[in-house]
Amino acid sequence: MADYKQMWTDLGMDLEKHDLLCEVLPEAFGGVYLSQQNRPQGMGFYDFVVSEIHGVRPAEMLEHQKQGGKVFGTFCVYVPDEVVFAAGGIAAGLCGGSQFWVSGGEKVLPANTCPLIKASVGARLDKTCPFFLIPDMYVGETTCDGKKKAWEILAGEVPFHIIDVPQMKRDKDVAAFEAEIMDFIAMVEKVTGNKITAERLGESIKLINNKRKGLQRLYNARKASPVPISGKDALLVTQIAFYDDPARCAQMANQLAEELEERVARQEGVFPANALRIMVSGTPMAIPNWKLHHIIETAGAAVVVEESCTGTRYFENLVDESATTVEGQVRALAERYMKTNCACFTPNPGRVEDIVRLADEYKVDGIIDTNLQFCNLYSTESFLVKQALADKGLPVMHIETDYSEQDYEQLRTRIEAFLEMLRK
């Protein structure tokens, strides 16, 4: 890795603590990723990004700021990146996925808070992640109670804008979200000093749609049997998509998808054609959370699709590109974003419908519905997911876990038993 020490010092990072993370990450990545056989060559780019994870992209963001640009840190797929890029800004997903940051979050949050929130708060307060220190502004949302209160703590650290995500999906809720996007535009214009015109917003909608299309194409290849890419590798691509430059993300995803399509044509896979095909549904897995995928895939089954925000919820729906006025474009944005089926909505039948549809499209043998510990929304919804899938005759197991390794062996035993049941 290049030497980023000066950059990290200038950011005010706790270098001593950060060194501890730098020591463990390569080993963890090597064990989970580099041990896989026959990985697509296109994964080389993503391996490089991980090897320089706290260096190469943060350096680009800092360069952008040097040129007068602004950086916005986000925590949810409900934040419309299009607005930020239309104003010449950079949006970067910040959700923390490592146990390393959890203790920092627990200094100010109740221990019984979801690890994603604890890690996100800890990464900022402990000053051990450059991505959390670079943004000029954080953009939060009102999807769950834990996040709502955490924003108030983080607002003591960094300027904060909160988008009010509706809890229902009636027409008046879509209209309310449209108004939120309008407010967001006004705020982003103020922070960046740049006007968001219909032309710029139109270009930005295309930019983000192209990224979504690249990821869609990649996921499409996963429908093949034998599956041409592991679930772990596909998950890594999506995780990196949250903070990479969107045009580069589209380019690299398309390049990888092309390689996968060639593999599909040759019937070349990373698992035997008769390997079990698993869908993982539920809460997002922020980088470097690879725990569940690793357990499933080292038990011989392939994860072929993720119904999650680090999966299909991130890119499935496109924004209609036909509007020519900012008002029309904002309407199109609101309609697209409100199609995302997060468990924060009530009722939320669309998510169960998505799982059933994806199970068919990706020809899955079973579903592992998972939620991060203390995520009340997804753990409660798991009852409805189980009920609906039982009606369809689709085998499902529910797992609640966190970022620690404590339950690793217990999870392995439970997952192996589930896979064994599917094989019978």
Q: Which residues bind ligand BJ8 (CB under 6 A)?
A: 76-78, 114, 116-117, 143-144, 146-147, 283-284, 309, 340, 342, 344, 372, 375, 377-378
Q: What are phi and psi of 28, to 5 degrees?
A: -60, -45
Distance CA 154, CA 234 (A): 31
- Of the pair 38, 380, the CB lying nearest ligand BJ8 is at 380
Residue of 392, 387, 377, 367 whose CA lies nearest to 305: 367
Strand partners, 372: 401
- Of the pair 167, 387, the CB lying nearest ligand BJ8 is at 167
- Of the pair 145, 268, the CB lying nearest ligand BJ8 is at 145
- Of the pair 192, 340, the CB lying nearest ligand BJ8 is at 340
Tokens 């109670």 identify what position?
Answer: 145
Q: What are phi and psi of 402, to 5 degrees?
A: -125, -160
> Which residues have a Cβ under 8 Å from the Cβ of 102 and sit 6 or more positions away?
115, 118, 119, 122, 402, 403, 404
159: how many CB neighbours lie within 10 A of its CB?
A: 13
- Of the pair 132, 271, the CB lying nearest ligand BJ8 is at 132
Tokens 């602004």 identify what position?
Answer: 70
- Of the pair 259, 307, the CB lying nearest ligand BJ8 is at 307
- Of the pair 143, 238, the CB lying nearest ligand BJ8 is at 143
Q: Which runs of consecutive H residues, i.e. helices, occur in 110-165?
A: 115-125, 130-133, 145-154
CB of residue 142 vs ligand BJ8: minimum separation in angstroms?
Answer: 9
Nearest 10 degrees: Cα torsion 110, 115, 121, 126 = 100
Residue of 338, 287, 277 whose CA lies nearest to 313: 338
- CB contact at 8 A, 49 and 57: yes
CB of residue 374 vs ligand BJ8: minimum separation in angstroms?
Answer: 6
CB of residue 379 vs ligand BJ8: minimum separation in angstroms?
Answer: 9
Q: Can you tell me whether residue 137 is helix, strand or coil?
A: strand
Distance CA 202, CA 253 (A): 22
CB of residue 108 vs ligand BJ8: minimum separation in angstroms?
Answer: 16
CB of residue 209 vs ligand BJ8: minimum separation in angstroms?
Answer: 19
CB of residue 398 vs ligand BJ8: minimum separation in angstroms?
Answer: 14
CB of residue 351 vs ligand BJ8: minimum separation in angstroms?
Answer: 10
CB of residue 37 vs ligand BJ8: minimum separation in angstroms?
Answer: 32
Q: Encode burial over 276-301: b for 16+ CB neighbours within 10 A, e otherwise.
A: bbbbbbbbbbbbbbbbbbbbbbeeeb
- Of the pair 210, 308, the CB lying nearest ligand BJ8 is at 308
Radius of gyration of the chain (CA): 21
CB of residue 68 vs ligand BJ8: minimum separation in angstroms?
Answer: 30
User: Which residue type is seen at 172?
Assistant: K
- Of the pair 94, 377, the CB lying nearest ligand BJ8 is at 377
Distance CA 341, CA 347 (A): 10
CB of residue 210 vs ligand BJ8: minimum separation in angstroms?
Answer: 21
| CA distances to 171, 197, 359, 364 from 395, in Å | 35, 49, 10, 10
Distance CA 93, CA 140 (A): 11
- Of the pair 144, 264, the CB lying nearest ligand BJ8 is at 144
